[in-house]
Amino acid sequence: MVKSAKTFLSDLENNYPEQIIRIAKGPLKPHKNQCSSIVWQLKKIGKFPAVIFENIETISGKRWPGSAQWQQEGSYARMAIACELPKEKWTAEGIIMELSNRLSGPINPVQVDPGKAQVKATVLTGKDVNLFDLPLYRKDSKDAQPGWICGLAIGKDPENGRYNLSWHRHHVHGPQRSAPRIQYRHLWSYMKKYRALGYKEMPVAWIFGAHPLLMLAGAVRPGYNIDEYAVAGGLLNEPLRLTASATLGDDFLIPADAEMVVEGYLSLEERDFNGPWIDFMRYYSPQTLEPVFTPTAFNYSDNPICENNWVGHNTLHGEISMAITLTNELRTKFPGVKVAHRAQPYTCVIQFAPDHPGETQRLAHYALSVVGDFLKNVIIVDIDINPFDLNDVLWAVGTRVDANTDQVQVVKNLDANRHDPSSMSDLQVGGFIIDATKPVGKPFPEVGRPEERVIEEFPINEYISQEDISNLTTGGGSLYASMGI
């Protein structure tokens, strides 16, 4: 069965009803913070379901023909469901390792006729293309008006035809005008190539709703040499189906089973304001001038589910994408790496078994290069430390680190991410490396634990039922408690 947002959400409703809720009451106006306020209130009481708003009114005053979903990928459990993993692998480490392995095995896409493409149920062009007819939203009180939409850009390299997927936020200014924020990465490099070839605009399309693993493909960093439609296929574990775009036909292919794809052109000359807006670090990022986007076609599935990404509040997508990118890349150079975890913005914890003195330092500095300006702080822990439990990590820092030594290093003058609120002046920032591993080849105190023979003799399942264990709360302030796994 082809994987889509509809098949994923249907799986949740049929098999994991605790993971999803539908809200039919309305009409709600997402551009007036009305949807985000409800999701916020759920978060404040510790609830992280996928939320589907079925009664949406757009800026133009029209009823959106489908629904708007928030945080379909908002827990580790739902990412495990998206991967179709058995419950014994429903751990943060299990999910990241599964996705890291899939990232290493891209699967080439296949092309299908538009008549067999879900996204071609409705195609609008010309005067029917109006951005104010989309379920534009605002997440936070001071997000710029009139509205925003956030999704995956599809870019195509004009030299070799490679497709790239990347997340961008659109500040929508008018019915045919928005300004998406473009970072200095793949899409930016494509713009430079088109400009050098003499073009004044670049074709681009945006996915605003799809299966969570396709959306995840736009957040990982596999490298410039891999077509990211193939990366999406690897994550989905099946070929991604593509179809001709309404604007450029077979010269520019779009995902056939997306909920919504907006086609158009990015100006290589004209710019407009983008922001303010809360980004993944949960602070308002500065207002910037960004390329103007002009839409040319809307492609919808039946009853389209538009993604209103809750950037800045639920950062799971960012956590997983950085974790699998780091884990996948670091293990190719350092086989002692077990798993990497993006614990907070710009900060990762790497679980590692060092083989010789000084190896952790090389690993840490290499990690700083893997995801570029998305990382400035690196903490390395031994394999007996759970990198997903910050209590465990801080225990290692408190008991295995001597700051009088090179276990603690300050790394200066790194290029800063434009969203980093700690460095808004010169776009340079300092970071740190904390080596919280025990010294290799030197004595170190033993960690206490019950005798292994006694543990085997008195297994927990003989004294507490699996059902009772499942119903117990997760303690220690671990990631699992906060993310609802």
Separation CA 174–CA 68 (nearest Å): 20
Spans of all domains in the chain: 94-307, 335-436, 452-483
CATH of region 94-307, choose from 2.30.110.10, 3.30.465.10, 3.40.50.2300, 3.40.1260.10:
2.30.110.10
Which pLDDT tens digit goes with each residue over 201-222?
999 999 999 999 999 999 998 8
Its pTM stands at 0.89
pLDDT given for residue 473 in this prediction: 60
Where are the extended beta strands (E) located within 19-162? Answer: 20-23, 50-53, 67-70, 110-111, 122-125, 147-156
CA 447 to each of CA 137, 169, 360: distance values in angstroms, whole numbers, following the listed order: 51, 47, 21
Does the fold of domain 335-436 match that of domain 94-307? no
Instruction: Give the largest CA-CA distance in the chain.
Output: 75
pLDDT given for residue 290 in this prediction: 97
Residues of the chain under the 50 pLDDT cut: 476-485
pLDDT given for residue 382 in this prediction: 97
Residue among 55, 237, 229 nearest 152 (CA): 229
Query: Are the C-beta atoms of residues 354 and 336 closer than 8 Å to each other?
Result: yes
Which pLDDT tens digit goes with each residue over 274-286?
999 988 888 888 8
Q: Which fold has domain 335-436?
A: UbiD C-terminal domain-like (3.40.1670)
3-state secondary structure of 277: strand
